[in-house]
């Protein structure tokens, strides 16, 4: 059982912030939770859902006196949050985030934090295609990985606290450099989102195939891509603007490989196609074995349909 | 209630063939079901599962005297099946298939069928990433679309029979030309599979990111692609070899659009990214409204996990 956080301030209370709030409450990780968000309507929703003990539209007010501050805002907004809360942080306060990109967030945040506070950047690798406070749930992070990317010289006690907090939410915790994180996530998350957005856009723009046909016959595979392409546009715009190098690098690899496949199709090279198609199955088996995916056919959609 | 088929012969008894067998049994669509498959071990599995009334390794034996013959084999294998069953088909027999590509299958099959038999090509747009007789289930086709692509001059009564059969399995039925089918499916199914296979291959080949990292952090989006990339390699090799033109055409569009996105990332054009990411959400809403997808977050994976 990790030591309870005395006062936890949550800056941003969307899918991720509200899931942290619910989890912290359910698993008794904090004595007091202060909730902040930008717009009054989101704050009202958070209050209606009972996500915290106190509610405010001011990030500075929320952060003042807090022992752990976790910001859960779009990747491009962390600098402004840090600038606002920097001056009021108490000595020994720990600041963390959940941004899907790490090097750029660290660059934005660090200049605004006082010497007497500790910054422990974090990224829970968990989410859904929905956003806002209603979309969160306490077990979003259970059995998922949370990656910490502490800059060199990070206070060991602060790092241990943040690790214990995420373990308290049910996550497995791993530590790596921000640069490596950004490379890993470029391939496991950012490029997959980009190509999903892209193919859905391509399908919508065709003249030879109507949008109604695309929707009717989506069960052939296309619909899997639309889930990802329904994710929050602001969040994803910020991810691509802030992880440009790693995304372009991985996209370059993807394009090279796709050109080779294209050539195999053009020249009828069935063996090359078979070899790739056979090899990729092992990766899914590995993901299922690692507890990161269901083995149910079709993601268990049939079971989901029955419980609704 | 459609008229019962007297004798239904199923050539091939994998995911699709066995789902037809189960559905036909469950919904009382046939008086007698004859099951054929190539390998003794698959035939034994079919027999163990009780999928038919008679079992044979010979397609000709199965087709002889049948009123409706449905072949469910890889797209490259329909010609050989037609060659084998052509000589034994009784007058008025209806032959159908379930191939994911239509023009090429029609080209393969037509030369081998006698004048006195009727060919009604079909493609049920439904499936999972698993294959073989154990993977099938009676409701695979329920609320999914089945596309019929009758060549000009197809016998109206035969067409009506095949339509009634698929409606009996719970499908919605639509009719279009083989060429249009192949174009629609290229974008809703074939290209999505190709890029899913491709990105899983790219991820497996990286040096900077280990395979174990790819698996651990797959929940960021990548794992959705691995489901599709776990589909049967033989089936998909045959699809790409037999729908070359439409796939290359759609892939060309996809590549053009991806280049534009790549440029937007390189030059930091956040508005272009936001515009696309915002537009693509509407397509998913349309697919959900069309009854072709669950609205549950994450495909209802959480519900699936709970029922297992
Ligand atoms: N969604 C995922 O799957 C996922 C997974 C892992 C990590 N992340 C990361 O988690 C963070 C939050 O994502 P989310 O999914 O929770 O988003 P969300 O549901 O859209 O919530 C965003 C929150 O940030 C606030 N916000 C938006 N723009 C802001 C700005 N310019 N300045 C200050 N606050 C702002 C919103 O406030 P108002 O509603 O009051 O405007 C809301 O409280 C992002 O950094 C993302 O990279 C997301
Ligand atoms: N899977 C999908 O999602 C899906 C969806 C819609 C349509 N389809 C189409 O359905 C058809 C069958 O797919 P499936 O998923 O049912 O495949 P499957 O589960 O792998 O079963 C294939 C069946 O075809 C037999 N077979 C394999 N190669 C053969 C050959 N060269 N000659 C004769 N028989 C052969 C197999 O026999 P043995 O096991 O005895 O070797 C088995 O009975 C394909 O045309 C595919 O395009 C598939």
Q: Which fold has domain A5-176?
A: Rossmann fold (3.40.50)
Cβ A46 vs Cβ A37: under 8 Å: yes
Q: Which of B216, B229, B254 sits opposite A290 (nearest CB)?
A: B216
Cβ A230 vs Cβ B251: under 8 Å: no
Nearest protein CA to atom 43 of ligand 2, as residue = B12
Interface of A with B in 194-223 (CB under 8 A): 194-206, 208-209, 211, 213-223
* Annotated domain spans of chain A: 5-176, 180-307
Q: What pLDDT sits at residue B308?
A: 38
Interface of A with B in 163-182 (CB under 8 A): 174
Give the torsion through C-alpha atoms of B3, B9, B14, B19, to 10 deg.
10
Paired sense of beta strands A5-11 and B30-36, if any: unpaired
Nearest chain A residue to B281, by CA = A230
Cβ B64 vs Cβ B90: under 8 Å: yes
Residue matched to tokens 């692609």: B225
Find the ligand nearest to A71 CA. 1
Write the pLDDT tens digit of every residue in B68-89.
999 999 999 999 999 999 999 9
Q: What pLDDT sits at residue A153?
A: 94
Mutation pick for ligand 1 pocket among A9, A21, A34, A38 (CB with most ligand atoms within 8 Å) = A38
Interface contact A279, partner B, CB < 8 A: yes
Nearest protein CA to atom 17 of ligand 2, as residue = B14
Q: How many CB pairs under 8 A join A and B?
A: 386
* Ligand 2 and B232: CB distance under 6 A: yes
Expressed in angstroms and rounded, the spacing between residue A14 Cα and the centre of ligand 1 is 5
Q: A interface mutation test: which of B221, B250, B273, B308 has the most A CBs within 10 A?
A: B221
Q: A120, A122, A130: which is closest to A95 by C-alpha? A: A120
Cβ A9 vs Cβ A31: under 8 Å: no
- CATH number, span B180-307: 1.10.3660.10
Residue matched to tokens 């729908």: B243
Backbone phi, then psi, for B123, in 5-degree steps? -145, 105
Q: Distance (Å) from the C-alpha of residue B222 to the closest C-alpha of chain A?
A: 5
Q: What pLDDT sits at residue B3?
A: 82
Nearest chain A residue to B203, by CA = A187
Q: How far apart are CA A245 and CA A261, in angstroms?
A: 25
Q: Where are the beta strands (DSSP E) in chain B?
A: 5-11, 30-36, 54-56, 68-71, 94-97, 118-120, 122-124, 145-148, 172-175
Interface contact B143, partner A, CB < 8 A: no
pLDDT tens sequence for chain B (308 residues): 568 999 999 999 999 999 999 999 999 999 999 999 999 999 999 999 999 999 999 999 999 999 999 999 999 999 999 999 999 999 999 999 999 999 999 999 999 999 999 999 999 999 999 999 999 999 999 999 999 999 999 999 999 999 999 999 999 999 999 999 999 999 999 999 999 999 999 999 999 999 999 999 999 999 999 999 999 999 999 999 999 999 999 999 999 999 999 999 999 999 999 999 999 999 999 999 999 999 999 999 977 665 43
Q: What pLDDT sits at residue A164?
A: 98
* Ligand 2 and B121: CB distance under 6 A: no
Q: Distance (Å) from the C-alpha of residue A198 to the closest C-alpha of chain B?
A: 6
* Ligand 2 and B192: CB distance under 6 A: no
* Ligand 2 and B100: CB distance under 6 A: yes
Nearest protein CA to atom 3 of ligand 2, as residue = B127
Burial class (CB in 10 A: 0-12, 13-18, 19+), A152: exposed
Mutation pick for ligand 2 pocket among B34, B52, B73, B149 (CB with most ligand atoms within 8 Å) = B73
Nearest protein CA to atom 43 of ligand 1, as residue = A12
Answer yes or no: do A227 and B224 touch at CB < 8 A: yes
* Ligand 2 and B36: CB distance under 6 A: no
Answer yes or no: do A188 and B294 touch at CB < 8 A: no
Interface of A with B in 32-91 (CB under 8 A): none
Helix axes B281-289, B270-279, angle to 10 degrees: 0
Give me the residues of chain A with pLDDT under 70, please. 1-2, 304-308
Residues in Cβ contact with A308 at an 8 Å cutoff, skipping those fewer than 6 apart: B294, B296, B300
Which neighbouring-strand residues pair with A8? Answer: A33, A68
């Amino acid at each position: 059982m990790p030591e309870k956080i005395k006062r936890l301030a949550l800056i941003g209370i969307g899918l991720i912030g509200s899931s942290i709030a619910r989890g912290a409450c359910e698993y008794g990780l904090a004595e007091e939770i202060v909730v902040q968000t930008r717009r009054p309507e989101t704050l009202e929703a958070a209050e209606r859902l009972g996500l915290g003990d106190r509610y405010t539209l001011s990030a500075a007010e929320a952060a003042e006196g807090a022992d752990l501050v976790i910001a859960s805002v779009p990747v491009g907004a962390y600098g402004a949050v840090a600038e606002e809360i920097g001056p009021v942080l108490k000595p020994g306060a720990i600041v963390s985030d959940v941004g899907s990109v790490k090097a750029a967030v660290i660059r934005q945040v660090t200049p605004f934090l006082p010497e007497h506070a500790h910054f422990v950047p974090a990224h829970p690798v968990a989410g859904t295609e929905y956003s806002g406070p209603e979309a969160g749930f306490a077990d979003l992070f259970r059995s998922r990985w949370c990656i910490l990317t502490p800059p060199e010289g990070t206070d060991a006690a602060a790092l241990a606290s943040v690790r214990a907090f995420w373990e308290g939410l049910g996550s497995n915790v791993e530590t790596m450099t921000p640069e490596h994180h950004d490379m890993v996530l470029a391939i496991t998350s950012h490029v997959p989102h980009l190509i999903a957005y892209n193919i859905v856009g391509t399908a919508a723009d065709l003249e030879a195939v109507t949008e109604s046909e695309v929707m009717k016959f989506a069960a052939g595979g296309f619909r899997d891509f639309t889930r990802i392409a329904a994710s929050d546009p602001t969040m994803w715009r910020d991810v691509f603007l802030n992880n440009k190098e790693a995304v372009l690098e991985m996209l370059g690899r993807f394009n090279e490989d796709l050109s080779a496949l294209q050539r195999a199709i053009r020249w009828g090279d069935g063996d090359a196609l078979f070899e790739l198609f056979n090899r990729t199955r092992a990766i899914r088996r590995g993901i299922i074995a690692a507890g990161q995916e269901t083995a149910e056919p079709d993601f268990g959609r049939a079971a989901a349909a029955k419980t609704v």
